[in-house]
Chain A
Amino acid sequence: MKPTQITGRIWLLTDATGVLYDDIDTDMIFHNRYLHITEIAQMGQYTLDNLAGWEDFAQRAQPGDIVVAGGNFGAGSSRQQAVDCFHALGITAIVAASFGAIYKRNAINSGMPLVTFPALPEVAAQFQTGDTLQVDFETGALLLNGAQPFAAQPFSQVQMDIYQAGDLFAYGRKLEN
């Protein structure tokens, strides 16, 4: 069984004024100039390098970190590199107010935990980059700095099944056996 509860240091994707970015699109996450790259290990270095203020994210992020973003994260193209680049950096979850539809499927199918937290915009002021966040995929419970609880959405059944299997391929094999 993979862990259904994780804890990590957060990166709050905010603009220069400290406000959470909405609609971070797939070109900001993984720019189209790198689309010829197909090795996941090589994708990490370009993560978010087209998002103002976050060009050096790949150098600062550590394995085990959690990304926290505003609404419609991953809008735009169907490119899976925009999910895989976070895998490459060892990011363990992405928590956002909402996600782009194809992005969400890409993440679920590749086993990247996405947690939808619709109330985030109202409470974002309580979050800071560097804080510690505990995320429970089963219940949607969040715990900020070991003290402040919030309620996000739990994983759906299919999301949990694919996450536990590893990815969509492993999930498919499991169903056949």
Chain B
Amino acid sequence: MGYTFAEKVLARQAGLETAVAGQIVTVRPDKLLTHDNTSDIAKKFRSIGVTRVADPAMHVIVLDHVTPAANETYAASHKATREFVAEQGITAFYDVGEGICHQVLPEKGHAWPGAVIVGSDSHTPTHGAFGAFAAGIGRTEAAAVMATGEIWLRVPESLRVVVRGQFPERVSAKDLILYLIGQLRADGADYCSVEFAGEAIEALSIAGRMTLCNMAAEMGAKNAVVAPDATTRAWLAGRVTRDYAEIHPDPDAIYARVIEVDAGTLAPQVARPHRVDNVAPVTDVAGTKIDQALIGTCTNGRLEDLEAAADILRGKHIAPGVRLLVLPASREVLLAAIERGIIRDLVKAGATLLNPGCGPCLGAHEGCMAPGEATLSTANRNFKGRMGSKDAAIYLASPATVAASALAGVIADPRAK
């Protein structure tokens, strides 16, 4: 009998011969990721009377949500995190300016094939792009992992998404995942491990794979994964120095559901307010007026995303009345984009460059919306009121669609010449 990725990785981590979907196992995660919520988690951790973390080397801490601090409350929280890091001897700490936790963690070598990563952020499944098992957890649980170094996990059922064919020009991983969420709905993969496979997935860069795994969270997935291959190994070379043993699902593994998609038939997709699964082809919403366009976030703030936008905006200028915000996902991405002239092209085209971090995605600073306004964003969530006013609209799309729309002042099809 064959086993899925989730069954195999969790069995190995738990020291068991085998594990099957539905089973509860206790594992020692390889990494625990926390962000601006570290100070609150540390407070919970201290409240149970423990003074030292179980394993300082397990921790990866990145300040990214509201950075630099927008006010005194956030500043005090960041300060408390820095003090905690120093007190506990945690070395993998990345302060203001390094970038978004889901970008910085792999860049700094903390994700590898077969690793088990838990994080106090719902987009932790992003790290499945490297063949890791990565799942989001809450604060109580993160505090418990800090104290004990262990966590209980229910082995998830698995859903396999096989993507054949080739992506058409200016159609990307973002369009694929929006399409899938539209089909499967916001609870279509509840508690499931989602395995992405097929020739279109194998052809994707690491950036595209991260976009897919990142947004699997929006259909309820516990984790998502792309099997490691030469692309993965090449990206990780020089970043991950430890040995690792890859885990691949068995060919005869048992899946709750198998979904097949032909990438060649996909059009650019847009998620309309106020639900991520309210998805339509861009042609259905083309012409909708926008006030703000956002390129960045843990979903689409990587070099190839900025490049896709620059290819459309180079030598042109965004429409009057539109604010284009660009946030590279990390310092590494920002530097590469500067060196390649991408930042120059975007800024010349009218973009406002913001520091690497989560920025306005969660509505705390750097681009909140007024009532009646609309933003077209490359982010992963368009919940009502997420970016400021409850009476504002958030549309989600790919970097190419956002760039083409910023030029037009209305939602526009990036394929149109």
Taking Cβ atoms with an 8 Å cutoff, the residues of A that contact B are 22-23, 25, 27-28, 31-33, 35-36, 38, 50, 71-72, 75-80, 83, 98, 100-102, 104-106, 109-110, 156-158, 167-169, 172-173
Contacts and interface: CB of A to CB of B under 8 A. Distances in A.
Contact of A72 (B138, B147, B190, B384): B190
Contacts of B362: 32, 35
Contacts of B136: 78, 102
Contacts of A98: 187, 190
A33 B186 CA distance: 23
Given A32-B386, A98-B187, A158-B152, 17 more contacts: A25-B383, A32-B364, A35-B364, A72-B187, A72-B220, A75-B187, A77-B122, A78-B120, A78-B138, A98-B190, A102-B122, A102-B138, A105-B138, A106-B138, A106-B141, A109-B144, A172-B148
Chain B interface main SS type: loop
B140 A110 contact: yes
B137 A105 contact: yes
A163 to B, nearest CB: 13
A169 B140 contact: yes
Interface residues of B, number: 40
A168 B141 CA distance: 7
B384 A27 contact: yes
A100 B220 CA distance: 6
Interface in B102-150: 120-122, 124, 136-141, 143-144, 147-148
B138 A158 contact: no
Contacts, number: 106
Contacts of A28: 383-384
22 contacts: A22-B186, A23-B186, A23-B187, A27-B384, A32-B364, A33-B363, A38-B43, A72-B186, A72-B190, A75-B187, A75-B220, A98-B190, A100-B220, A101-B222, A105-B141, A106-B137, A106-B139, A109-B138, A109-B141, A168-B140, A168-B141, A169-B48
Interface string B41-78: 00100001000000000000000000000000110010
Contacts of A104: 191
B24 A167 contact: no
Given A32-B362, A32-B363, A27 B140 contact: no
Q: Which 5 A-B pairs have the closest CB atoms?
A: A106-B138, A72-B187, A27-B383, A78-B122, A80-B138
Contacts of B121: 77-78
A50 B385 contact: yes
Interface in B348-388: 362-364, 381, 383-386
Given A75-B220, A77-B122, A167-B140, A158 B191 contact: no
Nearest to A83: B138
B191 A101 contact: yes
Interface in B203-245: 220-222
Interface of B: 24, 40, 43, 48, 73-74, 77, 120-122, 124, 136-141, 143-144, 147-148, 152, 186-187, 190-191, 220-222, 275, 277, 362-364, 381, 383-386, 390
Which has the most chain B C-beta neighbours within 10 Å: A25, A28, A157?
A25
A161 to B, nearest CB: 10
B137 A76 contact: no
A38 B383 contact: no
A7 to B, nearest CB: 27
Contacts of A101: 190-191, 220-222
Contacts of B152: 158
A72 B185 CA distance: 10
A16 to B, nearest CB: 15
B260 to A, nearest CB: 24
A172 B148 CA distance: 8
Given A33-B363, A109-B141, A76 B187 contact: no
A174 to B, nearest CB: 13
Contacts of A31: 385
A71 B219 CA distance: 13
Contacts of A105: 137-138, 141
A25 B187 CA distance: 11
A156 B143 CA distance: 23
Contact of B139 (A76, A80, A156, A157): A80
Contacts of B381: 27, 76-77
B364 A80 contact: no
Contacts of B77: 36
B144 A168 contact: yes
A25 B386 CA distance: 11
Contacts of A109: 138, 140-141, 144
